[in-house]
Amino acid sequence: MENRFDARGWLREAKEALETARRLWEWQRWVALCQAAQLCIEYSARAVIACFAEPQWTHDPSEQLLPLLQE
């Protein structure tokens, strides 16, 4: 693992975003729910990336994630 501390931090952020999304679902706040869900996915992807490389600062980690998954 490249950076276990960073990966745990990203997972913690993803968990918070998921919990927020769940609350927003109950309140039927659809736009905010989509934003929180997107953050959850972004943070989760960064956690995976952090296991193998330093995550880049972008809102679309797919360019960095896809090559790692192919390896």
Count of domains for the chain: 1
**Locus of tokens 């960095």:** 64
Cα of first residue to Cα of last residue in the chain, in angstroms, is 15
Rounded to an integer, what distance in angstroms lies between the CA atom of residue 71 and that of residue 4?
19
Residue 5's pLDDT is 78
Question: What's the pLDDT tens digit per position in 39-67?
Answer: 999 999 999 999 888 888 888 888 899 99
pLDDT of 1 higher than 60: no
Rg of the chain over Cα atoms, rounded to whole angstroms, equals 13
pTM of structure: 0.84
- Which domain range does residue 40 map to? 4-70
